[in-house]
C-alpha cells in the first residue's frame, strides 16, 4: 500500500485500514498511543527499561518518523507540480499497467483524502486520491503505478504479499488488544497482572514488527514494478523517471520508519521485562 497517513494523525477507522492491509496505520496507532502512554507504562511496569529505555529506544524513532514524513511530503509536493509530457492521468496509467499484466477484474476508484491511495486485494479495488486519479504529474503517475504494482503482485501470487495478507487477521487482533494493554497499565501497578499485561504488550509488538518487516519487500517490489512498467509502456520517458523514483523512494522511508518504530517499542518493552527479572 502507498497510503501515507500523516504520522501523528489518527485514522477514523483503524480496523478498516487493517483489513486493507495498510501498514502505515500501525505506525500511526503506535505513535499516538506510545507518545502519550509509554512513559506511564515505564512508571507502572517499572523494571530495567524505564525512562532511560524510553530515550534510548523510543525518542530516536520519533525523530526518524518526523524525518521520513518530511521527506515524502517534500518529494511529493515537488513532483506533483511537474506534469508528464504525455499528459496521461494516474487512473489511466494504473489501468495500462494492469491491462499489460492481464488484469481485468480490478476496479479503479477515486477516494477522498490526501495520499489515501491503496489497493484492496479483498474487494479487488484500486483506490486513488483525487489528485492522483485525475492528476498528470510525475508524482501522480508514480503513485498510481505503484498501486497497480500491488494488483500485479496479487495476480502473480507474489509470496511476500500472500504472507502479509495471511498476517492481517492476527495483526488486527493485536491492534485491538494493544489499547487495552495501555489502558490497563494505568490501573495496575506491580503484581502478577501487570507482568501479564507487559507480556501481552510484547506479544502484540512481536506481531506488529513481523508484519512491518514483511511489508518492506512488498512495497519495494511494487515500486520496482511501477518504475519498470512506466518506461516499458512508454507512459514516461527515462528522463522523467527521476521524479517518480524520488517520490517512491521517499515513500519507502515511511515503511522503513514503521518497521524501526515497531522494533524499537518491542525492544523497549523487552528491556522493561528483563529489568523486572534482574
Give me the pLDDT at residue 275, please.
Answer: 57
Cβ atoms 182, 33 nearer than 8 A: yes
Note the pLDDT tens digit of each residue in 66-75: 888 889 999 9
Higher pLDDT, 219 or 34: 219
Q: Which residues are catalytic?
A: 147
Q: Beta 125-129 vs 118-120: how paired, if at all?
A: antiparallel
Cβ atoms 252, 221 nearer than 8 A: no
Note the pLDDT tens digit of each residue in 110-156: 999 999 999 999 899 999 999 999 999 999 999 999 999 999 999 99
Its sign, for the CA torsion 226, 75, 27, 8, is negative
Q: Residue 261's closest CA among 78, 44, 58?
A: 58
- Whether 273 has a pLDDT exceeding 90, the answer reads no
The rounded distance, in Å, linking the Cα atoms of 55 and 61 is 10
- Whether 160 has a pLDDT exceeding 70, the answer reads yes
Give me the pLDDT at residue 276, please.
Answer: 55
For the chain, the domains span 14-276
**Residue 185 pLDDT grade (very low, low, confident, very high; cuts 50, 70, 90):** low
Burial 151-172 (b: 16+ CB within 10 A, else e): bbbbeeebebbeebeebbeebb
Amino acid at each position: 500500500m502507498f497510503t501515507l497517513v500523516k504520522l501523528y494523525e489518527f485514522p477514523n477507522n483503524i480496523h478498516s485500514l487493517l483489513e486493507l492491509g495498510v501498514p502505515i496505520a500501525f505506525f500511526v496507532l503506535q505513535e499516538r498511543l506510545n507518545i502519550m502512554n509509554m512513559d506511564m507504562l515505564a512508571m507502572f511496569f517499572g523494571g530495567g527499561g524505564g525512562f532511560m529505555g524510553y530515550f534510548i529506544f523510543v525518542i530516536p524513532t520519533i525523530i526518524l518518523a518526523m524525518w521520513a514524513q518530511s521527506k515524502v511530503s517534500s518529494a511529493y509536493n515537488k513532483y506533483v507540480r511537474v506534469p508528464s509530457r504525455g499528459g496521461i492521468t494516474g487512473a489511466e496509467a494504473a489501468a495500462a499497467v494492469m491491462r499489460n499484466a492481464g488484469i481485468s477484474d480490478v476496479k479503479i476508484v477515486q477516494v477522498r483524502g490526501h495520499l489515501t491511495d491503496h489497493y484492496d486485494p479483498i474487494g479487488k479495488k484500486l483506490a486513488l486520491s483525487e489528485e492522483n486519479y485525475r492528476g498528470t504529474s510525475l508524482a501522480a503517475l508514480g503513485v498510481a503505478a505503484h498501486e497497480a504494482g500491488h494488483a500485479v503482485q496479487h495476480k502473480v501470487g507474489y509470496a511476500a504479499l500472500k504472507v502479509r495478507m495471511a498476517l492481517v487477521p492476527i495483526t488486527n487482533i493485536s491492534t485491538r488488544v494493544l489499547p487495552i494493554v495501555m489502558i490497563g497499565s494505568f490501573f495496575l501497578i506491580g503484581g502478577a497482572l501487570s507482568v501479564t499485561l507487559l507480556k501481552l504488550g510484547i506479544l502484540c509488538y512481536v506481531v506488529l514488527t513481523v508484519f512491518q518487516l514483511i511489508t518492506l519487500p512488498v512495497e519495494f517490489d511494487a515500486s520496482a514494478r511501477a518504475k519498470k512498467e512506466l518506461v516499458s509502456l512508454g507512459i514516461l520517458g527515462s528522463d522523467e523517471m527521476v521524479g517518480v523514483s524520488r517520490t517512491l523512494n521517499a515513500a519507502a522511508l515511511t515503511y522503513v520508519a514503521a518497521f524501526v518504530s515497531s522494533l524499537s517499542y518491542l525492544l523497549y518493552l523487552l528491556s522493561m521485562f528483563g529489568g523486572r527479572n534482574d
